[in-house]
Amino acid sequence: MPTKIEVYGTTTCSKCVSVREFLDTKNIKYTAYMIDLMPLEKDEMIQRTGLKYYPQIFINGKYIGGEEELLMLDYEGKLQALLAVSFNLTHDSTTA
């Protein structure tokens, strides 16, 4: 199963824009839920996180936090590891 990244945010929030630009720069595919354009997604975000602010980010259904947490994962080399784990689960490297 490919890595699934979900980003809850708005079209104008600077941190939300920063997260999307960061992921785009790294060529990481994600699903963006623009809660200012899709109000029902805000309720889902609050239900999943218990939080009312954004951005909120999930990787493979696991809540990782917001912009600062995403950037820290990258800085510490853990983001690539999270993405690689999903990649390795879907691609068998032992084929001849």
Q: What is the pLDDT of residues 52-96, one digit of tens each?
A: 999 999 999 999 999 999 999 999 999 988 887 654 443 343 433
Residue 19 sits in a domain whose CATH number is 3.40.30.10
Sign of CA dihedral 11, 14, 68, 19: positive
Residue 34, CB half-sphere, CA atoms under 13 Å: how many? 8
Report the number of distinct structural domains present in the chain: 1
Question: Residue 76: inside a domain, yes or no?
Answer: yes
Q: pLDDT value at position 81?
A: 87
Question: Residue 95: inside a domain, yes or no?
Answer: no
Residue 3: pLDDT band (50, 70, 90) is confident
Domain span including residue 68? 5-90
